């Protein structure tokens, strides 16, 4: 444990990740190898001890943990469209067939950029062990793809729509076993908070690495992120129960006088540099909109007066939504782990809220396929499309399609084109029930004729539609997508047969 206490002072500098990514990564790999025998219990116990010493009774860290949870959920929802696009666009074969040196180049870009988002993400790499060992990721292209697939095929029988209530975590046998052990042991709030924070940051870092790696590999623009700006009350650096003199003495004990001086100077400069890019964020986890500095975010009066807790919102809509789903139970009161560990997003669907999963929809729909001008209503817990029947096994892509349709039941199908996604909703009151009946049979049984009829109808509706053309939703795109979703290689022939049937109909009905 004494050796582990040195870890915070041995971490590679975050500011070097982009300056010299090769050396930075080499330093990280040496460190993780040096501490590979440190157990999850040691990580958690050390972190829990620091939390227990906080002067505000962990209130700061509780609130920050809730923000971590919300940002992880938002990240996973935002990554979902890219994940579907990648999996349906042949990314797997491109990535696995790429030269290992090419994979290494893009993985290093992913690692260095993801770890440069925020200090807590950077330092969370210590919890990832050999996950980011470059030689391992370079040699085995399946690892990154498994992380990507976990976004649309959650572990432990969870559904994709369950993301609205709690995030997915990247599975790991060691951490999963410890988490289960903690559940059975009656852990304290500080221990629960320590483990929860570690698991959230670990998964968030891995998903960001996957995001940056694959965007780099596909030649796409790399995303940028704003880090929340904390007030002095919310800043964990000012909330610890230890005095500044105690921290300085401990640093000197670990690094010596000259080493401590250099460490403090370097970290102060790096911290000041990071502060330049920090922005105030809306507290509501269904929004978390950054304040660009042009407006004032009002704060919750009761939380500030009772707890000196800064809770701010970008709009009345976000304040009302947060009150209904989370804030009512904790407003102006001390926080507990249970009160902040479930950031409910099922009520986060007001027109003003920025729901990440619908970011590609605005104003980009075919005029013949009407889509409401406001975001979808809150999802019903009752599924629109039922479970698979008999021995039928759905593909990961079909499972994702069903989950998204169940979450947004006003849509009839979602087609991922080369330009944008097309959220299709048929206005015809006569045709729509028939299409949905055919869709239900295709999705629950895999019936080939139903798949062909549905594919043909989708193709028929796009022909002559200017909106569909703008979105890149052509018959070839539709058939190619459904081929992969239903594992139906001869679908193009079946659709041609449906067209022949239509040609024989005197009214030319599909």
Residue 197 has pLDDT above 80, yes or no: yes
Alpha-carbon distance 100 to 469, whole Å? 38
Q: What is the distance between the terminal CA atoms of the chain, rounded to a whole angstrom?
A: 71
Domain ranges of the chain: 4-224+254-277, 279-345, 361-504
Q: In this predicted structure, what is the pLDDT of residue 100?
A: 95
CA distances (Å), origin 20, targets 15, 90, 263, 399, 441: 9, 32, 19, 41, 55
* Backbone φ, ψ for residue 151 (5° rounding): -70, -35
Alpha-carbon distance 377 to 409, whole Å? 9
Segment (H or E) for 399: helix 396-407
Q: Among residues 426, 435, 439, 359, which one has the least CA distance to residue 398?
A: 439
Residues 6+ apart with CB under 8 A from 504: none
pLDDT band at 450 (very low <50, low <70, confident <90, very high): very high
Would you call 466 exposed, middle or buried from its count of C-beta atoms within 10 A (0-12, 13-18, 19+)?
exposed
Residue 370 has pLDDT above 80, yes or no: no
Q: In this predicted structure, what is the pLDDT of residue 258?
A: 67
Mean pLDDT over 281-299 rounds to 80
Mean pLDDT over 92-121 rounds to 93
Neighbours of 389 (CB within 10 A): 12
Residue 14 has pLDDT above 70, yes or no: yes
- Region for residue 375 given its phi and psi (left: phi exceeds 0; alpha: psi -120 to 50; beta: otherwise): beta
Q: Which two tokens stand for residue 364?
A: 């980009």
Alpha-carbon distance 487 to 476, whole Å? 16
Q: In this predicted structure, what is the pLDDT of residue 200?
A: 93
In three-state secondary structure terms, 231 is coil
Question: Does the reported pTM lie above 0.75?
Answer: no
Residue 141 has pLDDT above 80, yes or no: yes
The listed range with the strongest mean pLDDT (75-84, 143-152, 193-202, 261-270) is: 193-202
DSSP state string for 285-351: TTT-PBP-SSS---B-HHHHHHH----B-SSHHHHHHHHHHTGGGTTTS---HHHHS----TT---T
CA distances (Å), origin 390, targets 55, 272, 393, 445, 483: 58, 60, 9, 7, 21
Alpha-carbon distance 106 to 96, whole Å? 13
Residue 130 has pLDDT above 80, yes or no: yes
Neighbours of 331 (CB within 10 A): 17
pLDDT band at 241 (very low <50, low <70, confident <90, very high): very low
Which of the two residues, 269 and 39, has the higher pLDDT score? 39
Alpha-carbon distance 296 to 402, whole Å? 41
Mean pLDDT over 218-226 rounds to 86
Alpha-carbon distance 411 to 422, whole Å? 10
Q: Determine what percent of the chain falls in helix, strand and coil, rounding each to the nearest 5.
A: 60, 5, 40
């Amino acid at each position: 444990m004494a050796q582990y206490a040195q870890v915070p002072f041995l971490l590679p500098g975050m500011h070097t990740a982009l300056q010299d990514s090769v050396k930075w990564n080499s330093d990280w790999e040496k460190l993780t190898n040096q501490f590979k025998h440190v157990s999850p219990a040691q990580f958690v116990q050390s972190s829990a001890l620091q939390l227990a010493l906080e002067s505000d009774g962990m209130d700061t860290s509780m609130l920050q943990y809730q923000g971590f949870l919300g940002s992880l959920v938002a990240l996973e929802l935002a990554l979902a469209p890219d994940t579907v696009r990648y999996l349906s666009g042949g990314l797997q074969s491109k990535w696995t067939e790429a030269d290992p040196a090419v994979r290494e180049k893009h993985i290093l870009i992913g690692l260095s950029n993801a770890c440069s988002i925020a200090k807590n993400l950077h330092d969370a790499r210590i919890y990832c062990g050999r996950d980011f060992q470059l030689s391992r990721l370079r040699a085995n292209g399946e690892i990154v793809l498994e992380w990507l697939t976990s976004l649309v095929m959650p572990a432990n029988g969870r559904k994709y729509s369950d993301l609205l209530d709690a995030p997915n975590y990247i599975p790991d046998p060691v951490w999963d076993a410890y988490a289960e052990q903690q559940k059975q042991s009656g852990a304290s709030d500080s221990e629960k908070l320590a483990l929860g924070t570690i698991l959230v940051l670990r998964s968030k870092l891995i998903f960001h690495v996957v995001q940056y790696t694959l965007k780099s590999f596909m030649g796409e623009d790399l995303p940028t992120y704003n880090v929340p700006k904390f007030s002095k009350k919310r800043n964990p650096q000012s909330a610890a129960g230890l005095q500044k003199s105690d921290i300085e003495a401990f640093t000197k004990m670990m690094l010596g006088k000259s080493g401590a001086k250099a460490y403090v100077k370097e970290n102060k400069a790096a911290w000041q540099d990071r502060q330049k890019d920090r922005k105030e964020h809306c507290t509501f986890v269904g929004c978390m909109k950054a304040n660009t500095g042009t407006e004032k975010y009002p704060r919750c009066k009761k939380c500030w007066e009772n707890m000196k807790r800064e809770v701010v919102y970008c709009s009345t809509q976000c304040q009302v939504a947060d009150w209904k789903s989370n804030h009512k139970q904790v407003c102006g009161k001390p926080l507990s782990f249970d009160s902040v560990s479930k950031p409910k997003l099922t009520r986060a669907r007001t027109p003003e809220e920025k729901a990440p999963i619908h970011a590609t929809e605005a104003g980009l729909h075919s005029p013949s396929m009407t889509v409401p001008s406001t975001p979808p209503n809150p999802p019903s817990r009752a599924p629109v499309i039922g479970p698979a029947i008999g021995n039928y096994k759905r593909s990961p892509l079909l499972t994702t399609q069903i989950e998204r349709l169940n979450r947004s039941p006003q849509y009839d199908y979602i087609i991922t084109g080369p330009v944008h996604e097309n959220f299709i909703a048929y206005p015809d009151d006569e045709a729509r029930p028939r299409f949905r009946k055919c869709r239900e049979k295709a999705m629950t049984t895999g019936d080939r004729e139903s798949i062909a009829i549905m594919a043909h109808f989708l193709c028929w509706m796009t022909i002559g539609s200017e909106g569909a053309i703008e979105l890149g939703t052509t018959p070839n795109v539709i058939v190619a997508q459904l081929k992969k979703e239903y594992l139906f290689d001869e679908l193009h022939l079946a659709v041609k047969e449906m067209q022949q049937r239509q040609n024989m109909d005197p009214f030319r009905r599909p």
